[in-house]
Each structure stands twice: as C-alpha cells, then as structure tokens.
Structure 1
C-alpha cells in the first residue's frame, strides 16, 4: 500500500497532511527545517498546535514570551522539547543551531488557553509490553497539557521488536471501553537504511501492509495498527492523536489480546 507521505528534509516547511484528503478530519501535520538564523512564523486562528523539536536548537516567541528549546541531535538520543500553542496565537521560530527540525502538529480548535512549554523533564517515559514487544513510550502532550483535541508523543522500538501490540484500535466512541481518535505516525530508523513493517486492518475488508522507511508518514483514520522493525535497527515514531473527546482508551484486537493474559 502507498505511504501517506514522505519527508525529504528540504529547507523550510513541508506540509504532509494539509487537508482531509488522506482520511484525517482532525489532524494536520508538517515538518519544518531551518538553518542557523532563519525564521518561520505563523498565526493559526482556528488550530491548536504542538511544536516538537526533533533535533537541533531554536528560539520560539509566542504571546510576548521567548523560549530557548532543543538539545538533542537525534530523536533516538533523549526526550523532546515541545511547545503547545493555542488557537488565535502567533509564534515565531528562529534556528540557533546549524539545523533544527520541528514537527508541526495541528488540530482544529476553539478553546483559548495559554502557550505551554514542555521540557524534557516533563515528558513521561513508560516502558510498555514485555518480551519482543517491549517499547518505550514518551508522552509529550497528554494530561500534562491543557489542549482541546491534540495528544502527542514518541515511541521507540528496540531492534526486532513490535509496538502497538497486541494490536489496538481507537475509532469507535464507546466509552469506557474505547475512545474515538484519529492518529498519524511519523517514522525514523537507526541506522537510516533499515525498514519496519506496519499493518493497518479491521475485522472487515481493510487490510493494508506498509514497508516503513526513514521519514515516512502513515495516517490512521481507523483500524488496528501494529508496528515492527527488523533486527539490528531501531524504529522511532512520533504519534499524533486527535479526538473530540480527548481521552485515550484503545481496544485490543480480541484475536491477540490473549498474549497479555498469557504472560502475566
């Protein structure tokens, strides 16, 4: 199946999901690459935004405040800096390292709050799963941020491991059993010439298999969506979730849920 988008690392802003044509109604996504001293500014009247510093350093000005953000050279290196920008707020980014790459995650919103800086110490690390499906999940913007729809984080699989496993979905509004959330994954691999595998499926007709390369983007409007990586390589993905009810309640595929029960 065709990947939803590929980031080629060009200078400036690269929109990946800018409308609803790729199946997402509540998520917009792009990547920003700036060299030292270069500026990018934007006013999002109708969107809330989470800026995630992937690598490099920058200054971000918003609502009269200026923050110095970023410290890692790679997404595999340490926890991220991020900034939540509410709707009707402008922001200006200035690169202060030789290169800075930033993920720009957006969702339509009306709730006016204040900008919220997220430092690495505020990013919660969770070790999830066991055995060959252990992964490390970094919650960047979850219950620590007062947002309307967006939740953002990062996941890293060790070589040969799986994540989003047992396969889960979150596309039905059926609380307290399942919440309805769209999702997007942006991938990186270490070393970069490796690959991962992702299956997006339901119990009806949808069954899509993706070979994941460095800088690929996959949109997930619905369905179960496990991710694996070949031995010798790590896989990283930035995940962006959005829903009218900002509650994360996934539901495991009953066919594979026994794995967790068996190993407890």
Structure 2
C-alpha cells in the first residue's frame, strides 16, 4: 500500500514509518517521526546520512563542537530548522518542550560532508502557482536543500503548505526517484487527496504516502483545511533528482495566456 495511515497519535520516542530494507514499495530510506517530551534526550550516531527537520516544539541540538537551541511554534506559519548530518556524526537532541516533533530521514551515503544546520531564514517561502490557474494551485513551497546546493547528499528535502480547497504538486509530474510525503492538517480533523497515477487516496493528519513507480502525484486539499506535507526525495545512484517530468497535456494551464473556463 502506498498510503500509511496513522490512526493514533505518535508515541514518545522514534516512530518508524518506512524502512530502508522494505520488500514492497521500497523508498530507499528510513523515515519516521521523533516525538519527545520535555527533557527527553535522543542520541544518534548511526552510519547513515541523516536529516532532522523540526516540525514543532523546542530543542537543544548538540553535534561536533556546536550547541544550538531551536524553536518552531507552527509548521504552517514558520519555516523549519533542519539538521543535516553525514554518517557516524554524533548528535544529541534534548527536548525543551513537551510534544516536540522531528521528521527523521536516513539513507546510506559514504560521502563525508560537512554537517549543516539550515536555519529558518535560509528556508524562505516560495509562492508557487501565484497568478496562474485562477489561483487554484497557489501554495507555499520551502526547499531546505536540493542538488543545487547539496550535491553531496542522497536527499532532497522540503515542505509544502496548501491553502484550503486548492491543489499542489501541479501540473501533474513524476520522476523515477522515490519520495515520501508526510502530512499535517489545520484543523487536525481535516483531509485531502493524493493522486498516484490513476488512483487517489484520502490523506489525514499524520499520514504518510510513499511515491514510487514513477507515478504522477498531484495533491488537493478539502475546503476549510490547510494541508502541510514534508517531502523527501531519495536520489538514485547515477541519476539524481534535478527536476520532474510534467505531463505535457496539462502544461497549458500555467501559460500566461491560458483561457480557463469561465473566462470572465
């Protein structure tokens, strides 16, 4: 199944969602949610490339000779803090508030690169779709890093915030590199839809979708509910993700002179 339904709240500690050794719909990555109560400590020195993205809360990060306190009140209204580590680099995370949550992405990568904490100021809001398609696909995209500024990584990481009743990841596109979408909604009882090729799945708060098999994957949000999702793409050896392939029959909608009914 492409969709992984999270029917209960995450427990304190690490909650695995996908694993790097899965036999079905393999995304080539470990992906999960680290949920922490105040003063809880997590120490990691795994032999994998790792990305810790703060979804919400406050924590102290300690790695190498650095120590930084980070805080994020809302994943909808504020950009993320994201710590990117090469294999075998130790990190200590201490939660300073209850219900502090990180997304955690891990994959194999023998390249040794310099650890980096991406600050909120480095992840600016990009308003995609604005001025096109009668504003039906206007959304906020935050790219933490991609191949253009981190070609040593095996990941591309970012976030999307969908406005109520609108689309994202549109026009429909696909790519051979596997991807994970992890969703949050505001209010939490909201929902949206994820298209996977010719199939559609409903997504709810805390759900995750695995995007593999080069399926096109546009998204839609129910009216009244804002939808947030983390996206993590795993490069393929010798074939890194640079840009998607758009379905050509739908590209006309983004042209400046597109006539979209009702043309009034």
TM-score (norm 1): 0.88
SS of 1:133 mapped into structure 2: coil
Measured in 2, the distance between the counterparts of 1:258 and 1:61 equals 49
Note if 1:233 corresponds to 2:235.
no
What residue in structure 2 maps to residue 65 of structure 1?
66
Number of residues paired by the alignment? Answer: 248
In the alignment, what sits opposite 2:250? 256
Alignment match, 1:175: none
State how far apart, in whole Å, the 2-side matches of 1:227 and 1:30 are. 21
Change (3 A) 1:162 1:9: same
Post-superposition offset of 1:257: 1.7
In structure 2, the residue corresponding to 1:249 is in which secondary structure? coil
1:27 aligns with one of 26, 29, 39 = 29
For residues 214-246 of structure 1, what are the alpha-carbon distances to aligned partners after superposition, in whole Å with 9 as ceiling and x for unaligned? 000000012100000011111110000111343
Shift of 1:140: 1.1
Match of residue 153 from structure 1 = 158
- Picking from 135, 139, 145, the partner of 2:143 is 139
- Which residues in structure 2 correspond to 1:199-218 (within 5 Å)? 199-201=195-197, 207-218=198-209
Paired position in structure 1 for 2:94? 94
Question: What secondary structure does 1:101 align onto?
Answer: strand
**Secondary structure in structure 2 of the residue aligned to 1:232:** coil
The partner residue of 2:184 within 181, 185, 188 is 188
Q: 1:149 to 1:249 in 2, by over 3 A?
A: same
CA contact (8 A) 1:49 1:105 kept: yes
2:171 to 162, 166, 173: 166
For residues 224 and 128 of structure 1, the distance between their equivalents in structure 2, rounded to whole angstroms, comes to 18
TM-score normalized by the length of structure 2:
0.88
Alignment correspondent of 1:114: 114
- The verdict on how the C-alpha distance between 1:147 and 1:66 changes in structure 2, with shifts beyond 3 A counting, is farther
Query: 1:153·1:238 contact (CA, 8 Å) conserved in 2?
Result: yes
Tell me the C-alpha RMSD between the 2 structures. Answer: 1.8
Preserved contact between residue 27 and residue 234 of structure 2 (Cα < 8 Å): no
Distance in 2 of aligned mates of 1:144 and 1:85:
15
CA distance in 1, matches of 2:152, 2:76: 26
SS in 2 for 1:197: strand
Alpha-carbon distance, 1:27 to partner: 2.0
Contact 1:188–1:214 (CA<8 Å) still a contact in 2? yes
Alpha-carbon displacement from aligned partner over 1:84-119 (angstroms, at most 9, x marks no partner) = 011121211110123310000122101011210110
Note if contact 2:180-2:232 (Cα within 8 Å) is conserved in structure 1.
yes
Contact 1:162 1:227 in 2 (8 A): yes
Query: Shift of residue 81 of structure 1?
Result: 0.6
Q: Point out where structure 2 has 5 or more consecutive residues left out of the alignment.
A: 260-264
**CA displacement 1:63-90 (0-9 Å, x = unmatched):** 2322212x22221120011100111212
